[in-house]
Amino acid sequence: MHSIWLMPDARGHARFSDLIRRHAAELGGPVFEPHITLLGDVAAAPESIISKCAGLFADVGRDIAAVHGVDCTDKYYMSLFADIVLPGRFADSQHSLSRLFGTDGPVAFRPHLSLTYGQIDRASRSELCRQIVAELADFTFGLAAVELVAASKEVPVNQWRTVWRHDLKEAPIPGSLPEPAG
């Protein structure tokens, strides 16, 4: 199984990595690369995924994303996360990937960047959410690359590996972000 990730630029990577490492140490969860999952649990052959992703992202330039809030759930891989506002073309790319790999389903795409994996009690999650909201208020970061990662819920996080990376084209950064949905 593979996942297709959208990767933050160096500045975003540093900020999110710090949060991920800090909370993994506090809570005993795994450390992982900061990413926005465009599509997970893709069962196709890596060569097929790479070919389709290379075509889909060939002319896509770098852009800006923004943190739109912090939330938590009871789900292991979404126990604590930042909701992300993506430029429309990246949401469109996610829908194209879903169609290409036959995973287009009723679940709406919720762009997010996980900050902690694991089972965390409700009170601790709520307190962490409050702390991180202040740390990430108005934080924007660049979108730098798309990666294909050998990762799934059946593989331990410390065994996830990047199989392919496509750096997005250097492009002028637009002056405004899209309005958050909802």
pLDDT averaged over every residue in the chain? 87
* Residue 121 CA to its chain's centroid (Å): 23
The pTM (predicted TM-score) of the whole model is: 0.88
pLDDT of 176 strictly over 50: no
Q: CB-based contacts of 113: which residues, under 8 Å, 6+ apart?
A: 8, 16, 34, 35, 36, 67, 81, 82, 84
Where does the chain have alpha helices with state H? 10-27, 46-57, 88-100, 122-136
Paired tokens of 81: 């996360």
* Spatial separation of the C-alpha atoms in residues 125 and 109, rounded to whole Å: 23
Paired tokens of 19: 């949060």
In this prediction, residues 46-68 reach a mean pLDDT of: 94
pLDDT of res. 118: 85
User: Residue 10: which pLDDT band, with cuts at 50, 70 and 90?
Assistant: very high
pLDDT of 115 strictly over 50: yes
DSSP 79: S
User: Residue 105: which pLDDT band, with cuts at 50, 70 and 90?
Assistant: low
